[in-house]
Amino acid sequence: MRITRVHAIHIEASAWGDFAYREDDLPLVTSMSIFPQYKHPISTWRPEERMCVIEIETEDGLVGTGWCEDYYQTASSIVNGHLTRLLVGADSDEIGVLWDQMFRATVPYGRKGAALYGISGVDIALWDLMGKRLGEPLFKLLGGRCRESTPIYASHLHCIDEDQFCAEAETYVERGFPAMKMRFLWGPADGLEGMHRNVALVKLLRDTVGENIEIMADAYMGWSLDYALRISRMLEPYNMRWIEEPLLPDELEGYTILTRESPVPIAAGEHEYTRWGFEPLIRNKALSVIQFDMGRVGGFSEARKVCAMADAAGLPVCTHAYGMPSLQLATAESACLMVEYFPIPVWMEDTERPFFDGAPIPTDGKVRLDDKPGLGMTLDLPGYSSSA
Ligand SMILES: [Mg+2]
């Protein structure tokens, strides 16, 4: 069906829902923690969270919707200023060809980063459109349900106070989450004492949740290879499912050495893009768990290719962040282990509410999608009303 309109709308909201605002003042080690002025909080350096919603309309009046991050209107400018030229007038069903054209046309300034946000958002909208046209949920178009429901892990646990931290972890156990992820708070700038405090916090989490819950911890690119190698040996007794993103995304050699030497599995990929970005990570066995983000990797089209490569190498996939794109993919892709969810910690005075794209609140640590066509979502965002 011929595409008649493509429009990216810049919105003053975060693609991570309320999580990004909650995290603004919470402690965690980051890629900037080596600089004292940016050590804490993350809002001292992180760009303001913005997103764009991309609507693609075809001549029959159907509208597909996708979204992505939109820092400084980069992605929305690329979609409205460049990608529309390739899309308007084209056949919306030819998603593979359109993806290749968008990627090749943006190579001079793209390949990773904002151009791939835009391409991902367009790809998600095209898949949504196809699902709506066929009256089928995307997981059916992607191969059908591969499991009755998708396991979901709780991702928060920034420790301000140890009692609060333990109480938070206990609520995730009570709510049936099979796994949970905490944040490391210290890195190389905090010396050996910080390293011991990181290890003590993992021990506290393990002691709190018992032996039958998977635990993970995120280092948000805040460590060095040397630091990660040392601490991974100290963390061995706690049977962690993974250590997340200990190094910068481009440290292929570092990740390869770390994954070979570390007694704890290493996960990363939320800041990596496309099949070409993941291929050397998979070929070199540089990771134990692959963690692309649907709004960065290139949308459903590219996520499927990375899943196939990871699966062939025996590596599980665990998508970054919550939302309907992740849930639709994980419902159909057996390579997907579980999906990340951002619960509201029990010690914050707030109540759980559905994610902005309408993705369901997990029950008993899992989600089962219904048969609503396309992405099966309704966006609830400030300053946006859908024309779908
Ligand atoms: Mg992470």
Q: How far is the CA of 46 from the centre of ligand 1 (A)?
A: 14
DSSP state, residue 242: E
381 assigned to some structural domain: no
Q: How far is the CA of 359 from the centre of ligand 1 (A)?
A: 20
Cβ pair 77, 10 in contact under 8 A: no
- Catalytic (active-site) positions: 320
HSE-CB at 262 with a 13 A cutoff on CA atoms is 30
Domain check: are 36 and 180 in the same one? no
Q: How far is the CA of 219 from the centre of ligand 1 (A)?
A: 7
Query: What pLDDT does 363 receive?
Result: 97
Query: What pLDDT does 96 receive?
Result: 98
- CA pair distance 22, 347, nearest whole angstrom: 12
Q: Is the torsion defined by CA of 255, 261, 262, 266 positive or negative?
A: positive
Determine the structural domain holding residue 232 and report its residue range. Answer: 141-367
Q: What's the total number of domains in the chain?
A: 2
At 160-171, the pLDDT tens digits run 999 999 999 999
386 assigned to some structural domain: no
- CA pair distance 309, 195, nearest whole angstrom: 35
pTM of the full predicted structure?
Answer: 0.97
Domain check: are 267 and 319 in the same one? yes
385 assigned to some structural domain: no
Residue 388 has pLDDT above 90, yes or no: no
Domain check: are 171 and 123 in the same one? no
378 assigned to some structural domain: no
34 assigned to some structural domain: yes
Residue 91 has pLDDT above 80, yes or no: yes
Backbone angles phi, psi at 284, to 5 degrees: -85, 5
Confidence of residue 154 (pLDDT cuts 50, 70, 90): very high
Domain check: are 148 and 77 in the same one? no
Chain mean position to CA 211: 26
- CA pair distance 5, 27, nearest whole angstrom: 43
Point out the domain boundary residue: 77, 111, 136. Answer: 136
- CA pair distance 328, 236, nearest whole angstrom: 34
> Scanning the structure block, which residue is given the tokens 């059916």?
140
Q: How far is the CA of 158 from the centre of ligand 1 (A)?
A: 13
- CA pair distance 155, 142, nearest whole angstrom: 26
Residue 353 has pLDDT above 90, yes or no: no
383 assigned to some structural domain: no
Query: What pLDDT does 18 receive?
Result: 87
Chain mean position to CA 87: 26
- CA pair distance 113, 331, nearest whole angstrom: 27
379 assigned to some structural domain: no
Which one, of 77, 75, 102, 73, lies nearest residue 87 by Cα?
Answer: 102
Q: How far is the CA of 171 from the centre of ligand 1 (A)?
A: 21
Domain check: are 89 and 172 in the same one? no
- CA pair distance 348, 25, nearest whole angstrom: 13
Domain check: are 11 and 41 in the same one? yes
Domain check: are 306 and 162 in the same one? yes
CATH number of the domain to which 80 belongs: 3.30.390.10
CATH number of the domain to which 205 belongs: 3.20.20.120
Domain check: are 246 and 336 in the same one? yes
Point out the domain boundary residue: 136, 157, 175. Answer: 136
At 211-238, the pLDDT tens digits run 999 999 999 999 999 999 999 999 999 9
